[in-house]
Chain A
Amino acid sequence: MSQANNSLSLANPHPANFNGKQKLGLAITGLGLLSFFMAWAGAGNQQPLVFLLITLIGFFGGGIIFTIGSYGNLPAGIKNNRVVFSSLTSRGAIAWIAGVVLTGFYIMLYWRSFWKELFGTDLFLGLVNMFNPLSEMLRNNPADQWFVYGTLYTIAILVMGFKFIYKYRHNRYQMLRTTSVMFFQLGFAWLLPGIMKALYNYEPYLTYFWPLDYDAIFPSTLSYFQKQGAFGMFFIFWGLVMTFIATPILTYFFGKRWYCSWVCGCGGLAETAGDPFRHLSDKSLKAWKIERWMIHSILAAIIIISVLLLVDNAFKNQLLGESAKNIAKGYSFVIGMVFSGVVGVGFYPIMGSRVWCRFGCPMAAYMGIIQRFKSRFRITTNGAQCISCGNCSTYCEMGIDVRAYAQKGQNIVRASCVGCGVCSAVCPRGVLNLENGSDNLKRTEILFSSNDLKILS
């Protein structure tokens, strides 16, 4: 197709015509942002509560009004009009700006103390202070940059989750699982750690387990929790049960979706704030090859590192000495910070919403192996109804070429599938369905054959 890439131009040939409600929503969000930046610039030190309230009202109120403006007048159904024309959602100028800002924000936050030393002043003081009233109320402690990050993260999931639910209001599966990720983020990744901080001065995250929570079984973590008494022992026990017993069982029955698109916070953000970017994932065979190498290498790395550290600990640190710390730090920096933090979120507008989940997450790799070889979960294909239109592949955030299977009448059993169900939702012919079937069904069996007809692609 000989067509210039319009999306890189700000003079878009398909201009978005925002309606009144959408403009009002954007204006209120803008007000929230203004308040956010004023607080950051210093106003947060003097009047934290006022600026915090304006910011929250701006983000929540603006988001809700914008959503109603966007979808309220449309009939329930799939709403992907203009997705590939919009600069933000088609790697246009706005997408690149958003990517750089998100990435930059995380890097700035991560190295807060480094910048403080470098510039002689704390760049985040006003912003962190604005969140003090909230932090004091919830955690009985002053805010730090990670409380700010966690709160913004939770707000993003809640506001964009509302938008997602309203967008998919014709589809109960989508509504339920989105409500679920919003619940787990708010309850288990924000409220509970905050309350625990107030009561016991540490912050447990009950929905993160090894190997995603990579240091959960590091000797340093285990000894830290042991010192916390009964609660600490419970958290160790909980983590081990979830990793080694609950995860395989749940994944066997439901596929990895029970976690990735119903519980996980990384998945939660990807499914809500990341939804407008899901089609940007690379569907090529090459990308699939890279994915398999990368994600399994990272799983292997964290297993080896964890075992090494535990063995080293059993030998009273005689094997590794100082390098034990460096190995842990190295993984934490490269995978925990750069990959899951910076690339995982910052690159949404460029590489799609599930870059971390697809290429990096060791938990996803672990469950993927179970899902691929021993699980009842699959996406079934409805006979020969597929018209190869490609909506399913396009909107697969994990970059699975769903169509390649659907047009052959094959069931889809792929390690990477997080069971978001959007392929099924966007299919115009009712071809795809997520099911927990019996596991004796051959994975790639061609299900449909009528008389001597062989459907192939």
Chain B
Amino acid sequence: MHIVIIGNGITGITAARTIRKQSNHDITVISGETDYFFSRTALMYVYMGHMKFKDTQPYENWFWEKNRIKLKKAWVQNIITESKSIVFDNGEQISYDKLLIASGAKSNKFGWPGQDLYGVQGLYSFQDLELLEKNTANGINRAVIVGGGLIGIEMAEMLHSRHFPVTLLVRESSFWNNILPKQESQLVTQHIRDLGFDLRLNETLKEIKGDAKGNVSSIITGSGEEIACQIVGLTAGVSPNIDFLKDSGITIDKGIIINANMQTNISDVFAAGDCAQFQQALPDRHPIEQVWYTGKIQGETAAFNILGQQQTYNPGYWFNSAKFLEIEYQTYGTVLNVLREGESEFYWESDNHQKCLHVVYRQSDHLFIGINIFGIRMRHELFNKWLIEKQNVEHVLAHLRVANFDPEFSRVYETEIIDAWNKLNPTHQIQLKTKSAFSKLIFGS
């Protein structure tokens, strides 16, 4: 059987590796983007000079041949599902027995005037990185970034590392507050400003203006201000990269519509990762999930289904992490930007406003629902266990020190956190579970 995978990102590669571990079928992975799998999340570090592009590749180049995973560098133009064949943009065709589409996403463009000028770009693909290198090669006086999500802040950090002034236009009234509760959002907002970024809140992009050569020269904001700039970063989200499927007969909406077994409406055609949209979203989850680890799990799930081993997508409890400039962020369980009915919260912030912890629990029985942590590392394994065991918030907080994953000798904040809780909750006092410093040194945690 010949299994073809479109896309060599984390989803496609996870699928290919899973299939190889389980079977001896022929596997071909197609990508027009790069010869080899690389970590998309690391593109920023290449621009900042932390790593060479080669360092973003998790496997050495000999790996693919050794594991009999055939790589093909080409762009797919169309899929003819009747004859089970794939047409490339040079007219070449190959056929498949089973197909997985993991073609990823592309940056959103919302039809802004001037959005196709030179110097206007997103940041998702290897080509975007090359473009940014080219666009900033001779230096720039200012970049304007539109959109206040994770890619926006990454792009701002990248440009900042080369000493280019950055203005961020954010539609929301506080950074990422469509995802983060207001306390965390304010903490991040302040951090961004402390580090010297020109952050404009409640601000949108109205128009991008260019010079005679077609290069960006300025933007006009929603409030009418003109800001001179040479780069416009469009980071207002990404959407599935599925234009090549228009005439394929595969059902698409925003993304490729799939069921919980990662199957499309066409038999033997599967989809997974950033390009896929679940017909029925799981509770507390979006129908399109564009996160590194969901890509991994979807790729793996698709692989089993391709091999005929029925498996439904089950990513478990939500978790994620990110880094906002210098502040690390982790989340476990569900913490929405506003409390839902019946939910209570506990929030603690360090004196220097660099660290915080936000726990959400059910009002009636104090069931632990989720946690956001900034500036302190916590153990995924434990929080996941507590969510599965349906522990209450007191149990979680009492074991915070055990869950701490900061480097040895780091300053600890658990006592401070528990004191704050106890002050607010006189009827639900918590005693922190600790190990003596000596036993921790010798026996670890």
Which residues of A pack against B, CB within 8 Å? 1, 3, 13-14, 17, 75-78, 80-86, 170-174, 176, 253, 279, 284-285, 376, 380, 382-385, 387-391, 393-394, 403-404, 407, 421, 424-426, 428-430, 433-438, 447-448, 450-457
Interface residues of B in 319-338 (CB under 8 A from A): 319, 321-323, 325-326, 328, 330
In contact, B17 and A457 (Cβ under 8 angstroms): yes
Within the complex, which residue of B51, B381, B410 is in contact with A383, where a contact is CB–CB below 8 Å? Answer: B381
- A454 and B56 CA atoms in complex are apart in Å by 23
In contact, A389 and B45 (Cβ under 8 angstroms): yes
In contact, A451 and B319 (Cβ under 8 angstroms): no
- Find the A residue at minimum CB distance from B404: A433
In contact, B49 and A390 (Cβ under 8 angstroms): no
In contact, A436 and B321 (Cβ under 8 angstroms): no
- A279 and B60 CA atoms in complex are apart in Å by 17
Within the complex, which residue of A76, A403, A437 is in contact with B58, where a contact is CB–CB below 8 Å? Answer: A403
In contact, A391 and B50 (Cβ under 8 angstroms): yes
In contact, A77 and B326 (Cβ under 8 angstroms): yes
In contact, A173 and B319 (Cβ under 8 angstroms): no
User: How far, in Å, is A211 (CB) from chain B's closest CB?
Assistant: 27
- A77 and B157 CA atoms in complex are apart in Å by 13
- Find the A residue at minimum CB distance from B328: A430
- A456 and B293 CA atoms in complex are apart in Å by 10
Within the complex, which residue of A388, A433, A437 is in contact with B407, where a contact is CB–CB below 8 Å? Answer: A433
B162 within 8 A of A: yes
Within the complex, which residue of A425, A426, A451, A457 is in contact with B314, where a contact is CB–CB below 8 Å? Answer: A451
Instruction: Give the chain A neighbours of B137 by CB distance below 8 A.
Output: 13
Within the complex, which residue of B48, B52, B328, B405 is in contact with A81, where a contact is CB–CB below 8 Å? Answer: B48
In contact, B380 and A384 (Cβ under 8 angstroms): yes
Within the complex, which residue of B14, B55, B405 is in contact with A394, where a contact is CB–CB below 8 Å? Answer: B55
Question: Assuming the A-B contacts A13-B137, A253-B442, A385-B319, are A404 and B58 also in contact, with contact meaning beta carbons closer than 8 angstroms in the complex?
Answer: yes
Q: List the 3 closest pairs (A to B, CB-CB), nearest first.
A: A383-B380, A450-B316, A430-B377
- A393 and B41 CA atoms in complex are apart in Å by 15
B445 within 8 A of A: yes
Instruction: Give the chain B neighbours of A393 by CB distance below 8 A.
Output: 55
How many residue pairs, one in A and one in B, have C-beta atoms under 8 Å apart? Answer: 176
B384 within 8 A of A: yes
In contact, B408 and A173 (Cβ under 8 angstroms): yes
- Find the B residue at minimum CB distance from A450: B316
- A444 and B356 CA atoms in complex are apart in Å by 33
Instruction: Give the chain A neighbours of B402 by CB distance below 8 A.
Output: none
B164 within 8 A of A: no
In contact, A457 and B445 (Cβ under 8 angstroms): no
- Find the A residue at minimum CB distance from B13: A457
- A42 and B54 CA atoms in complex are apart in Å by 49
Interface residues of B in 38-82 (CB under 8 A from A): 39, 41-42, 45, 48-58, 60
Within the complex, which residue of B163, B316, B377, B406 is in contact with A451, where a contact is CB–CB below 8 Å? Answer: B316
- A63 and B264 CA atoms in complex are apart in Å by 62
Within the complex, which residue of A82, A424, A430 is in contact with B49, where a contact is CB–CB below 8 Å? Answer: A82
User: How far, in Å, is A19 (CB) from chain B's closest CB?
Assistant: 11
- Find the A residue at minimum CB distance from B297: A453
Question: Assuming the A-B contacts A387-B292, A436-B444, A457-B58, are A83 and B49 also in contact, with contact meaning beta carbons closer than 8 angstroms in the complex?
Answer: yes
User: How far, in Å, is B155 (CB) from chain A's closest CB?
Assistant: 15
User: How far, in Å, is A303 (CB) from chain B's closest CB?
Assistant: 30
Interface size band for B: 35 or more
Instruction: Give the chain B neighbours of A388 by CB distance below 8 A.
Output: 10, 39, 41-42, 58, 292
In contact, B49 and A172 (Cβ under 8 angstroms): no
B300 within 8 A of A: yes
- Find the B residue at minimum CB distance from A419: B408
Instruction: Give the chain B neighbours of A404 by CB distance below 8 A.
Output: 58
Instruction: Give the chain A neighbours of B311 by CB distance below 8 A.
Output: 452
Instruction: Give the chain B neighbours of A452 by CB distance below 8 A.
Output: 311, 314
In contact, A390 and B326 (Cβ under 8 angstroms): no
In contact, B407 and A436 (Cβ under 8 angstroms): no
Interface residues of B in 16-43 (CB under 8 A from A): 17-18, 39, 41-42
Instruction: Give the chain B neighbours of A385 by CB distance below 8 A.
Output: 293, 319, 321, 330, 380
Instruction: Give the chain A neighbours of B42 by CB distance below 8 A.
Output: 387-391
Instruction: Give the chain A neighbours of B328 by CB distance below 8 A.
Output: 428-430
- Find the A residue at minimum CB distance from B56: A390
- A366 and B297 CA atoms in complex are apart in Å by 40
Instruction: Give the chain B neighbours of A279 by CB distance below 8 A.
Output: 51
- Find the A residue at minimum CB distance from B130: A1
In contact, B60 and A284 (Cβ under 8 angstroms): yes
B112 within 8 A of A: no
In contact, B380 and A455 (Cβ under 8 angstroms): no
In contact, A85 and B49 (Cβ under 8 angstroms): yes
B286 within 8 A of A: no
- Find the A residue at minimum CB distance from B408: A173
- Find the A residue at minimum CB distance from B18: A456
User: How far, in Å, is A46 (CB) from chain B's closest CB?
Assistant: 46
In contact, A172 and B442 (Cβ under 8 angstroms): no
Within the complex, which residue of A14, A83, A384, A447 is in contact with B293, where a contact is CB–CB below 8 Å? Answer: A384
Instruction: Give the chain B neighbours of A424 by CB distance below 8 A.
Output: 407
Question: Assuming the A-B contacts A391-B45, A394-B51, A447-B381, are A172 and B409 also in contact, with contact meaning beta carbons closer than 8 angstroms in the complex?
Answer: yes
In contact, A435 and B293 (Cβ under 8 angstroms): no
Within the complex, which residue of B54, B296, B325 is in contact with A455, where a contact is CB–CB below 8 Å? Answer: B296
B266 within 8 A of A: no
- A450 and B60 CA atoms in complex are apart in Å by 29
B113 within 8 A of A: no
B317 within 8 A of A: yes
- A389 and B43 CA atoms in complex are apart in Å by 8
Instruction: Give the chain A neighbours of B411 by CB distance below 8 A.
Output: 172
In contact, A387 and B381 (Cβ under 8 angstroms): no
Instruction: Give the chain A neighbours of B444 by CB distance below 8 A.
Output: 376, 435-438
- A434 and B406 CA atoms in complex are apart in Å by 9
B161 within 8 A of A: yes
User: How far, in Å, is A447 (CB) from chain B's closest CB?
Assistant: 6
In contact, A14 and B410 (Cβ under 8 angstroms): no
Can you list 13 A-B pairs, Cβ within 8 angstroms, ordered by A?
A76-B326, A80-B48, A376-B444, A385-B293, A387-B41, A387-B42, A390-B42, A403-B58, A430-B330, A430-B405, A436-B443, A448-B380, A453-B315
